Amino acid sequence: MSDYIPNGVLIEILARLPVNSLIRFTLVCKSWFSLITSPSFITKHLNHSKTNRDKVFLRLYNADEREEQYILCRDDETLGYDDSKLKFPFELVSPYNWIIGSCNGLICICDDFYNHSHHIVIWNPSIRQSVVLPRIYKPQSLYRFVLGFGAHPTTHEYMAVMVVYKNALLNQEREPAKVEIYEQGTGSWRCVRSASFPCFMLEFLLQQAFVNGAVHWVVYDPVTGLRNVVVSFDMGAETFPEMMLPPDVRDQMRVLITSFDESLAVFMWWRKGHRFFLRLGDERVWCCRILD
């Protein structure tokens, strides 16, 4: 049939199909397999998917069954869902699962209990496939870590970054933090020797936001003792840029960093109300909105 359809039209049709259908269509013929798996088509399909965000991923806790449940819902006021609950593909050692982050339809989950991790899993709930990342540090070791998840800005391959540091009580010699990267293309971790993590205090289970090709964390400044700095890891350049939080947010405990319309955002809430700060692209400006 593709012999009668111009190649450009075929690409436009396929780019609008869900991933499940594309996986089946790779079996149609060699030319379709080459087209669907080509980097240019993957990029086109990804860009189209970003403009058609019709579903959201929810994690719920069922108190009666004492288990976590994962559901894909419609992104509207009803939050309705047609499919049954998603079954997580692994029986993890710890019941305390932590969603590290999401990127391009993939979700990074870690079974973490007070920084003692057993597994790091990359899960695609749309096609029910997952990958367990190789373990490079034993659970309950002398080292602690902070994870980030995103994608390379050029190749769009998913990447995980791990900042590994020694337990503060045991790190009398001030051993610097190490930076490890997991890359989809190699399927393994590598040490980033060119990247030196800034001298900031980290928290286990640290919230992250992946925006504009970089993972962002809110950290403590050891000099001032204030939680007032955002440290980023640029997935392409493999560097650690820094930026200050807005003055009203600095040293606030109830702060959530996230992405909003492909911009970096922080939420702060207290008894009198809520504030939402949005960083406007490359302008290095924060704008504030007070929420009722």
More confident residue, 29 or 97: 29
Query: What residue has token string 């998603």?
Result: 86
Is 102 a member of any domain?
yes
Is 234 a member of any domain?
no
Residues 164 and 181 in one domain: yes
Q: Decide which of 150, 183, 206 is a domain's last residue.
A: 206
pLDDT band at 237 (very low <50, low <70, confident <90, very high): very high
Residues 166 and 176 in one domain: yes
Is 245 a member of any domain?
no
**CA angle at residue 125 from 121 to 127, to 5 degrees?**
110
| Tens of pLDDT, residues 136-171 | 766 555 667 788 999 998 888 899 998 887 655 445
Query: What residue has token string 């925006």?
Result: 211
pTM attached to this predicted model: 0.78
Q: For residue 111, give both structure tokens.
A: 């079974």
Is 69 a member of any domain?
yes
Residues 63 and 47 in one domain: no
The domain tally of the chain equals 3
204 touches 146 (CB < 8 A): yes
Residues 80 and 184 in one domain: no
Question: Measuring CA to CA, how many Å separate 28 from each of 1, 31, 259?
Answer: 11, 8, 38
Is 100 a member of any domain?
yes
Is 129 a member of any domain?
yes
| In the predicted structure, residue 74 carries a pLDDT above the cut 80 | no
Report the distance separating Cα 190 and Cα 194, nearest Å: 12
Q: Decide which of 29, 64, 87 is a domain's last residue.
A: 87
More confident residue, 242 or 269: 242
Is 236 a member of any domain?
no
Is 157 a member of any domain?
yes
Residues 136 and 172 in one domain: yes
Strand partners, 217: 231
Highest mean pLDDT among 42-56, 176-190, 259-273: 176-190
Residue spans of beta strands (DSSP E) within the chain: 55-62, 67-74, 97-103, 106-113, 116-124, 129-132, 143-151, 158-166, 178-183, 188-191, 209-211, 214-219, 229-234, 242-244, 255-260, 263-270, 273-279, 286-291
Residues 137 and 186 in one domain: yes
More confident residue, 168 or 196: 196
| In the predicted structure, residue 178 carries a pLDDT above the cut 60 | yes
The pLDDT of residue 22: 86
Q: Which domain holds residue 13?
A: 1-52
